[in-house]
Structure 1
Amino acid sequence: MSKFSSLKLWFALSTLALLAACAQPVKHADYTAFKNSRPRSILVLPPTNETSDVNATSSMLSQMTMPLAESGYYVVPVAVMDETFRQNGLTTANDIQATAPAKLREIFGADAALYCKVTQYGTVYRMLDSAAIVTASAKLIDLKTGDVLWQGSASASSNEGNNNSGGGLIGMLVTAAIKQIANSVTDRSHAIAGITSYRLLHAGPPNGLLYGPHSPKYGTD
């Protein structure tokens, strides 16, 4: 091997080593409390809404039970949860989430409760683009101990995978305006909320929920 080839190989290996040293390791969630608790049933509480869209809470809530059920958990029916709180004079997500964990366990008999917060919901219009974006975070609380078993966040956008090249500036502006109207008229955010819910609440690595007792993967994680 020539000196030039050796130098190129050394430089390439040095670069790879430097990149590997600079790369941040993937952070994995701490599942110690989750594994000790191993909840079988989950009560999904109405998400608090930090956006200007009044539909955010109901849209997310209506789509959060499916990924939990598919992950192997029994989920208290949303209609039962909603009516129970209504009968007790609690109608807002903030008031409901302020209820003591022990009281929630006494009323619903669930092992854990899911507390969710929606921080972005709706169509965002920019100069050259428009997109429906939904962002939310959640934490799972043990209703016996009050311990946080898991927490995570997720986001989804109607523009994922889109390419706006071509058509010139006028074409991009027109496309953005049309997309904004379409997103608003068809309530595209509701569909995007479903994607966010799945990303947030599906079980599996690296940082998802652990699989529940009704999943064939239960105990493998």
Structure 2
Amino acid sequence: MTPLRTLKRIGGMLLAITLAGCAATQAQLDYAAFRASRPASILVLPPLNETVEVDASQGVLAQATFPLAESGYYVIPVAVMEETFRQNGLTAPAEIHELPAAKLREIFGADTALYMSIKKYGASYAVLSSSVAVEIEASLIDLRSGAVLWQGHKQAVETSGSGGGLIGMLVNAVISQIVNTLSDRSYVVAGAASQSLLFAGQPGGILYGPRSPKYELQ
């Protein structure tokens, strides 16, 4: 077994992902505008990256479409979205987020657009612990009216174990940090955060889309 595989195996026994988000439930949120809009398609925009990790935006974007599609929506393919913006000289997420909703509707024909901001992305090391955190905020905007249909916030954190006394905690933290660096655990944690945030049917989450069998039941 290679050193990297050994570290991954050890790290897998030491790490656990925890999720945290807004405390609001569906009963507390106002879904009137969402239900009235009845969106069927979503354009996922490149996330704004508010961290120092250059791969954060792509890491989150690559995993955002799956939970939305599984929730019953047609999602504009990421490759089509990126190439369309590139041909029009737009590559920076900040510039893309500033485009008028009506213009996005005209170009892509989508009912809504998902705007995301990445607040945390990557590993951090302390004396007795190592962790990988990904924090995402999102808003679903109606491109026909400009109305905000839904807003959400989730954070996923993967931390090292704390057993084995002081020496054990130090060893665990060092091993975890090496695993995090070599295997890019941030991407895995970003997937957990994205799925927790964007799958329909969760407390405070989006509603099911028309392609879901649960659409008429909500």
TM (norm. structure 2) is 0.86
Q: Deviations over 1:130-183 (max 9, x none)?
A: 011111010000001000000001111222xx64122x2122112101111110
Amino acid at match of 2:214: K
Residue 191 of structure 1: aligned partner = 188
Corresponding position of 2:157: 157
Q: 1:181 aligns with which of 178, 182, 199?
A: 178
Cα RMSD for the two superposed structures: 1.5
- The AA in structure 1 aligned to 2:95 is D
Matches within 5 A, 1:33-44: 33-44=33-44
Normalising to structure 1: TM-score of the pair? 0.85
Partner of 1:3: none
Q: Is contact 1:28-1:206 (8 Å) kept? A: no
Which secondary structure state, in structure 1, belongs to the residue aligned with residue 216 of structure 2?
coil
Q: CA deviation at 1:25?
A: 8.7
**Paired AA for residue 130 in structure 1:** S
Cα–Cα, structure 1 residues 106 and 25, in superposed 2: closer, same or farther, change >3 Å?
closer
Q: Flag the structure with more relative contact order, 1 or 2, with Cα contacts below 8 A and sequence separation at least 6.
A: 2
Aligned to 1:123: 123
Q: Take 2:85 and 2:205, find their aligned partners in 1: how far apart are those partners?
A: 29
Give the letter aligned to residue 193 of structure 1. A
Conserved 8 A contact 2:162-2:168: no
Q: Which moved more, 1:74-83 or 1:91-100?
A: 91-100
Contact 1:29-1:206 at 8 Å conserved across structures: no
- Equivalent residue letter for 1:196: A
Alignment of 1:11-90 (within 5 A): 28-90=28-90
For 2:196 and 2:176, the matched residues in 1 are separated by 24
| Residue pair 2:24, 2:203 contacting (<8 A) in 1 also | no
Q: Is the 8 A contact 2:56 2:121 kept in 1?
A: yes
Larger radius of gyration: 1
Provide structure 1 residue ranges, at least 5 long, that are not aligned to the other structure. 1-23
Q: Is the 8 A contact 1:47 1:116 kept in 2?
A: yes
Q: 1:25 to 1:47 in 2, by over 3 A?
A: closer
Closer/same/farther in 2, CA of residues 25 and 65 from structure 1, 3 Å limit: closer
Which residue is 1:212 aligned to? 209
Q: Give the conservation status (yes or no) of the 8 Å contact 2:63–2:194.
A: yes
Quote the residue 2:107 is aligned against.
Answer: 107
Q: Report the counterpart of residue 17 of structure 1 in structure 2.
A: none
Q: Distance in 1 between matches of 2:152 and 2:88?
A: 30
- Structure 1 counterpart of 2:102, which letter? A
Kindly state the Cα deviation for residue 28 of structure 1 after the two structures are TM-superposed.
2.2
- Whichever residue aligns with residue 93 of structure 2, its letter is A
